[in-house]
Amino acid sequence: MNEYLPLQGVRICDFTAVWAGQTATMYLADMGAECIKVENPFIWNPMTRAASPRINAMVAAILPPWIAGHPPEPGPRPWNNSPAFIQVLRNKKSVTVDSRRPEGLEIVKQIIRSSDVIAENLALGTLEKLGLSDDAIRAERPDIIILHMPAFGRTGAYIEGRGYGAHIDSVAGSTILRGYRDSSPSDNVGIFAGDYWGGMHGAFALMAALRHRRRTGEGQVIEMAQVESSAHMFPQAALDAAWNGRAHRSVGNRSIEGFVPNGVFPTAGTDRWIAISCRSDQEWRALVEFMGNPDWAASPDLGTAAGRARQEELVEARVAEWTAVRDRDELFHALQTAGVTAGPVLTAGEAAQDPHLAATGTWKRLPATEDYPEVDWLRPAYRFSKSDVDLRTPPCLFGEHNDYVYRDLLGFDDDTIERLRAEGHIADTFAPEALENG
């Protein structure tokens, strides 16, 4: 396979956590950057490798599957098999070091000296507390690119604000838009759209800065406040407020693009649903014809989107009656063939077995490790016809690349490595209690 990896030769010193930061560096690792995840064996970084370092099967079972659906039990190293996090570690390398101790900090600085990028989204001030201010980082490597991804910004009134994706979504204007039309936003919680969005924008900004550095030799600092990037996910609501003073609220599953009907309708069976959008009057006519030209749909008022919008509840109720007795998947293919935009509400299990995803090479099977079984893993979402942008190496287990980093990259000898292992810098297991007790 011809590689042509875009970021071959770029090294990232990776201090990212949770999803936003870890996906940003994942996209660069997918493109060929050598991403070295710096992990501290004595500090449990919340929501970065698992819900907890000591999670047992009983607790895992009461937590949601996306965070605690370990295979099938967490086992002794839950940080190596949480479905929420292990897959954002693909194509990366993991090194351990206790960066709070002077010798550990010196090791981190050595990694920084050989890095092109340092990326972080830790609580504001964490890197500074370690002795890694922007100035200190640039003292080691003047042309480095530094990416900070704070929640609410590194300046301004909200620097003390703390939050995960849910809180970022709240301030960015996402949460208010995603409930039912007739109830409060509390009906639809635990959604973190801004994490993924922030990761993509962080990766984009890094690659733009890398281009500038290739052309000028100049590094720079990038600050991406996650709430500010997330606001861009809802430009219609933000700009209707700015231009017309209008505050948007949830429209449920209706369209803000003027599509009627646009919604999620029941189909035969239990809890099976189909999404249907008539994106044009032509699609509406196709739907009506496919339904067999029922009398209720014959009214000329319904021929235009504006006319249908005036009777939206009636249209939705009639369509729902019609879908409710039909098979979801048959309806999906038949409606699409008839020229109507429609698709099933897939469960995670159904998506895992979707024939289109399987046929288009979405997954790649990785062999089992001690921590997880042989299963199919996601490849990057895009296909490059020449560059080998792919799932090339499995997700990095905790400390998996200590040998590579300490021996090959930093050039330490066996005695030094043994000493660093004895002192707890080099480890393959989390021991947050070790220092507390010692």
Residue 307 interacts with other proteins (CB under 8 A)?
Answer: no
Q: Which residues from 83-102 bind other proteins, rule CB under 8 A?
A: 83-88
Angstrom distance (rounded) from CA 69 to CA 82: 7
Q: How far is CA 409 from CA 59, 112, 113, 115, 349, in A?
A: 40, 11, 11, 11, 42
Q: How many residues does the chain have?
A: 438
Q: Does 1 bind other proteins (CB under 8 A)?
A: no
**DSSP code at position 261:** S
Q: Which amino acid belongs to residue 58?
A: M
**Shortest spacing between CB 114 and other proteins, in angstroms:** 19
Pick the closer one to other proteins by CB: 9 or 411. Answer: 9
Judged by CB under 8 A, the residue of 377, 392, 404, 409 near other proteins is 377
Q: How far is the CB of 62 from other proteins (least distance, A)?
A: 7
Rank residues 2 and 437 by Cβ distance to other proteins and give the closer one. 2
| Shortest spacing between CB 118 and other proteins, in angstroms | 14
Q: Is 414 helix (H, G, I), strand (E, B) or coil?
A: helix
| Candidate residues 50, 112, 210, 331; the one interacting with other proteins per rule CB under 8 A | 210
- When binding is defined by CB under 8 A, the residue of 291, 314, 346, 391 that contacts other proteins is 346
Q: Which of 76, 102, 190, 300 touches other proteins (CB under 8 A)?
A: 190
Is 46 or 408 the residue whose CB approaches other proteins more closely?
46
Print the binding letters for residues 313-342 with other proteins: x by CB under 8 A, - otherwise.
Answer: -----------------------x--xxxx
- In the complex with other proteins, the residue whose CB is nearer, 92 or 201, is 201
CA dist 69 → 60, 157, 167, 430 (Å): 7, 38, 24, 20
In the region spanning residues 247 to 306, those forming contacts with other proteins, defined by CB under 8 A, are 247-253, 255-259, 262-266, 273-277, 279, 283
How far separated are the first and last CA of the chain, in Å rounded? 51
Residue position matching structure tokens 């990259």: 409
| Residue appearing with tokens 């287990």 | 397
Burial class (CB in 10 A: 0-12, 13-18, 19+), 165: buried
Contact 28, 12 (CB under 8 A): yes
Q: Which of 112, 224, 302, 397 binds other proteins (CB under 8 A)?
A: 224
Nearer to other proteins, 139 or 298 (CB): 139
Interaction with other proteins in 4-33: which residues (CB under 8 A)?
Answer: 4-8, 19, 23, 27, 31
Shortest distance in whole angstroms from residue 99 CB to other proteins: 20
Q: How many CA atoms lie within 13 A of 273 on its CB side?
A: 10
Q: Where does residue 95 rank: exposed (0-12), middle (13-18), buried (19+ CB within 10 A)? A: buried
Return the number of the residue (35 or 172) whose C-beta is nearest other proteins.
Answer: 172
Window 50 to 79, contacts with other proteins (CB under 8 A): 59, 62-72
CB of 101 to other proteins, least distance (A): 23
Query: β-strands 221-223, 11-15: how paired?
Result: unpaired
Site for other proteins (CB under 8 A): which residue of 125, 235, 294, 432?
Answer: 235
Q: Considering only residues 402-421, where is the footprint of other proteins by CB under 8 A?
A: none
Kindly state whether residue 430 participates in binding other proteins, applying the rule CB under 8 A.
Answer: no
- Answer for which of 126, 220, 369, 416 binds other proteins (CB under 8 A) is 220
φ/ψ of 32, rounded to 5, equals 110, -5
State which amino acid sits at residue 400: E
Q: Which of 135, 295, 313, 359 binds other proteins (CB under 8 A)?
A: 359
Strand 92-96 relative to strand 117-120, pairing: unpaired
CA 20 to CA 16: how far, in whole Å?
Answer: 8
- What is the amino acid identity at position 40? N
CB of 76 to other proteins, least distance (A): 16
Binding other proteins (rule: CB under 8 A), the pick from 126, 170, 311, 369 is: 170
| Dihedral in degrees, nearest 10, Cα atoms 128, 129, 130, 131 | 50
Q: Which is nearer to other proteins, 95 or 340 (CB)?
A: 340
Helices (H), 131-256: 134-140, 165-172, 193-216, 226-230, 235-244
CB of 385 to other proteins, least distance (A): 4
User: Count residues contacting other proteins (CB under 8 A)?
Assistant: 169
Q: For other proteins, which is the closer residue by CB, 19 or 398? A: 19
Binding to other proteins (CB under 8 A): which residues in 91-150? none
